[in-house]
Amino acid sequence: MIEKTEKNRKKIVFVTGNNGKFVEVRAILASRGIEVLQNKEGYPELQEEELEPIAASGASFVAEKLRLPAIVDDSGLFIKALKGFPGPYSRFVEDKLGNQKVLQLMENEEDRAAYFKTVISYCEPGKKPLLFSGLVEGKIAFEERGTGGFGYDPIFEYEGKTFGELGDEIKNTLSHRRRAIDKFLEWFDSQID
């Protein structure tokens, strides 16, 4: 059962230390009357080649620990020429290398195809986690463009503009995270009486 606040709003804990992710998810879910609380404590993160088991394990851990419905988002940038790198290691690579080093890795690559993928895992205490994924195909730009978004947004080009150039309002309507959240909301709406 989803916990309700005094205003009859649903309350879900979103575990992330990434304020950009939190702001994006909170804005999307607030439009549906869902209150999102940020928890930065984290969770034991599996080292896996796929996003799904990482998100599922994290959401299950948090739901049991906090005894509240929880969402964990695991996202990655998958670059075709780099055999899917950085993929599930995207956050680590962003923190340690940054966009300029990724662009250097791509300097001599003609195939610049890439995609962003998000897996949202939702879990209630005592239940199995549910998974919802979203994907946006694009390409790696030749240079950083735009000041919006966060992480790889300035180097990920979608239909001629980087996510960094689109601005949060537009990006939040078409991002990989939005697509995963829309799938979650479709399921969530089916659970409300």
Q: Domain containing 143: what range? A: 3-191
**Pick the catalytic residue: 74, 95, 168, 193?**
74
Q: How confident is the model at residue 109 (pLDDT cuts 50, 70, 90)?
A: very high
Residue 20's Cβ-count burial label (10 Å; 0-12, 13-18, 19+) is middle
Asked whether the predicted pLDDT for residue 9 surpasses 80, the reply is no
Q: Active-site residue 74, yes or no?
A: yes
What is the pTM for the complete model shown? 0.85
CATH at residue 129:
3.90.950.10
Higher pLDDT, 49 or 131: 131
Asked whether the predicted pLDDT for residue 4 surpasses 70, the reply is no
Token reading at 89: 């290691």
In the chain, the number of structural domains is 1
Q: Tell me the pLDDT tens digit for each residue of 13-41.
A: 999 888 878 888 888 888 888 899 998 88
